[in-house]
Amino acid sequence: MQLVGEDDFIKEGVAREIKERLSQELVIALVGPVGSGVSTAAKFLHDELANEFGYDVAPIMKPSDVIRAQSSLVGMSAPANAKTATYISQMQDAGNRLREKFGNNYLIEKLIEKIRGFRAANKGYEGENEVPGRRAYIIDSLKSMEELELLRDVYRETLCVVGVFAPDKLRDERLKNLDYPEEERAKVMARDQAELATFGQATRKLFVHSDFFVCNDRRPEDLESSLKRFLDIVFDTAIHTPTRAEAAMYKANAAAANSACMSRQVGVSIVSADGELIAVGWNDVPKFGGSLYTEEDRETFDDDTKAIVNKDHRCYNWGGKKCHNEVRRHGLMDKVAIAVFESGQVKASKRADVRSAIGKTDINALIEFSRSIHAEMEAILSVAREGKHSLVGATLYTNTYPCHNCARHIVASGIKEVVYIEPYLKSLAIELHSDVISEMPDAKNMVVFRQFNGVAPTNYVKLFRPKGERKQNGYLIRIDRKDAIPVFRVPLDARREYEDKIIVEVAAKEGVQLTQPGDPQ
């Protein structure tokens, strides 16, 4: 085997070669409910990457284009006119039929074909090897977790998911301005949020996995400003520090990790009107003396027995090791079904149908049988326990939209604003308290519930820690956007290839002759 010469590995070491073989490509996939402005955001990102960052950007890739091109394969004809009243629902129908026939990932698989084709047509390969290059692909938009998981598996860290959101009322107004009838608007919005069909669209579930959130509830200029900041952070072309909301949501998300709840992990942070962090909370079981059970309760010294005992009485470790809310809820539905049968109004043969029907009612959404205190309440109570701060005028940050039980306590506490990431469809907060709670950003004399805007807490440390030196000779280093390298990068070659090269380089330094990389020394 020919070895690397000494001069070669001093000047052009494998470490440098590996760095040069990191991808510069970006795949940006947008997600958001109908009327949120996803297509507007996609166009801006496309133009900004092309004009400001010097990227070769493929034409915006839309699953709707695949639906139009392939709908005949399922015996359907996609509507040609996007202005027709039933356009969106017809496209949803055709898309679902294609997914049902060819698999849930079919639309995204066709877009992956397009990505491969664009790369090949733009100097992306030399023989069998991929060539690093400034290429970008914008997908408008994802509709299922399966689509996201496939893209993550293929493109790994080079995939950025941007969630675009707007309040339901504002989205309805936008559809109205496009001349959609009221009945069609309601149908489209409800279906897009949480369709029950196996091959349906579940935008809300997907939305929470975004890398960056954009709340598009104001002027177009505000949307553009948010997206410009996102690209500057991803390319590290300017110093950006976390906003108050990003810092607070990061703390809320970190607090959620403390929860041992078997249903969901919810975290909260509360920031005073002056921007001071005054409380955090998470959902878990309360213990005597105040606060919640924690990991430390697993090993507690018992004064009576003089032994170390496990006093962690959270549901996973106490009372049958079960979710008490879910077990009681199902038991209640069983009792209702039995009462219906015993009334003699339903045939015994319909027993399973009746139980299934009851499971589709709001009985299956009951939450009051839980042993856990909710994260919002724990955060509010922690302020009361300490007695050091006031909640009046404060902002509550949570990774999940508050339930209606917590909502009324939030209002009563004096908190003026709630910022959340994950929608919670079981919440009746707006329906029960529309006199004091609003999702409209400019509402007066009301507690405003609004969608989080900014870097996802899961990317907080990665994106806000500097990637290199910020100054040279005491002065700020200025980075040309057209030369900037994205933070999200992956190796273009297999791990074994890099290991082989490093082994060969080490052998050359040591003057050792190798037959094959990895030979025993």
Residue 313 falls inside a structural domain: no
Question: DSSP letters along 45-113, please?
Answer: HHHHHHHTS--EEPPPB-HHHHHHHHGGGGT----S-TTSTTHHHHHHHHHHHHHHHH-TTHHHHHHHH
- Containing 163, the helix (H) or strand (E) segment is strand 159-165
In a domain, 514, yes or no: no
27 occurs within a structural domain: yes
The dihedral over CA atoms of 404, 408, 410, 416, expressed in degrees to the nearest 10, equals: 110
Distances, alpha carbon 173 to alpha carbons 31, 186, 489, in Å: 20, 11, 40
Residue 521 domain-assigned (yes or no) = no
pLDDT one-digit tens code per residue, 293-307: 999 999 888 888 889
**Consecutive H or E run containing 212:** strand 212-215
H helices then E strands: how many in the chain? Answer: 19, 18
Q: Are residues 353 and 422 in the same domain?
A: no
The verdict on 97 and 160 lying in the same domain is yes
The pLDDT tens digits of the residues spanning 127-163 come to 888 999 999 999 998 988 899 999 999 999 999 999 9
Final residue of a domain: which of 311, 343, 365?
A: 365
Query: What is the H or E stretch that residue 270 is in?
Result: strand 267-271
Structural domain ending residue among the three candidates 365, 395, 425 = 365
In the chain, the amino acid numbered 175 is L
497 lies in some domain: no
Q: 288 and 409 share a domain?
A: yes
- Per-residue pLDDT tens digits for 214-250: 988 878 899 999 999 999 999 999 999 999 999 999 9
Place of tokens 């977790």: 145
In a domain, 57, yes or no: yes
Amino acid at the residue 459: N
- Cβ atoms of 406 and 426 closer than 8 Å: no
Identify whether residues 139 and 222 lie together within a single domain: yes
Q: Which of 439, 56, 464, 414 is nearest to 236 (CA)?
A: 464
For 423-434, what is each residue's pLDDT tens digit? 887 789 999 999
Same domain, 85 and 57: yes
CB 265 within 8 A of CB 316: no
- Within a domain: residue 466? no
On the question of pLDDT at 400 being above 90, the answer is: yes
> What is the pLDDT, as a whole number, of residue 1?
35
The SS3 assignment for 252 reads helix
pLDDT at site 188: 63
Residue 69, in any domain of the structure: yes
Examine the domain organization and report whether 65 and 127 are in the same domain. yes
Taking only the tens place, the pLDDT of each residue in 44-100 is 999 999 999 999 999 999 998 999 999 999 999 877 766 666 777 788 889 889 988
Residues 263 and 187 in one domain: no
CA geometry: angle at 141 spanning 139 and 146, to 5°?
100
pLDDT at 24: 94
Same domain, 396 and 361: no
* Residue 486 backbone phi and psi in degrees, to 5: -70, 150
User: Is residue 201 located within the same domain as residue 231?
Assistant: yes
Give the β-pairing of 125-126 and 129-130.
antiparallel
Report the share of the chain in percent with pLDDT over 90.
60
Total domains present in the chain = 3
Output the pLDDT for position 175.
74
**What tens digit of pLDDT does each residue of 459-504 get?**
999 999 988 889 999 999 999 999 999 999 998 888 788 778 878 8
Which of 229, 217, 227 shows the shortest CA–CA distance to 448?
217
- CA pair distance 212, 453, nearest whole angstrom: 8
C-alpha–C-alpha distance, residues 68 and 77, integer Å: 7
Query: What is the CATH number for 274?
Result: 3.40.140.10
| pTM summary value | 0.84
Q: Are 45 and 175 contained in the same domain?
A: yes
Name the residue among 208, 54, 41 with its Cα closest to residue 138: 41
pLDDT in tens, 325-371: 999 999 999 999 999 888 888 887 788 888 999 999 999 989 889 99
278 and 166, same structural domain? no
CA-CA-CA-CA torsion for 508, 12, 500, 521, nearest 10 degrees? 20
Last residue of a domain, one of 451, 466, 492: 451
Average pLDDT over residues 244-272: 97
| Residue 179: CATH number of its domain | 3.40.50.300
pLDDT bin (cut points 50, 70, 90) of residue 191 is low
- Answer whether 145's CB lies under 8 Å from 195's CB: no
Q: Which domain holds residue 86?
A: 18-239
Q: Do 342 and 447 belong to one domain?
A: no
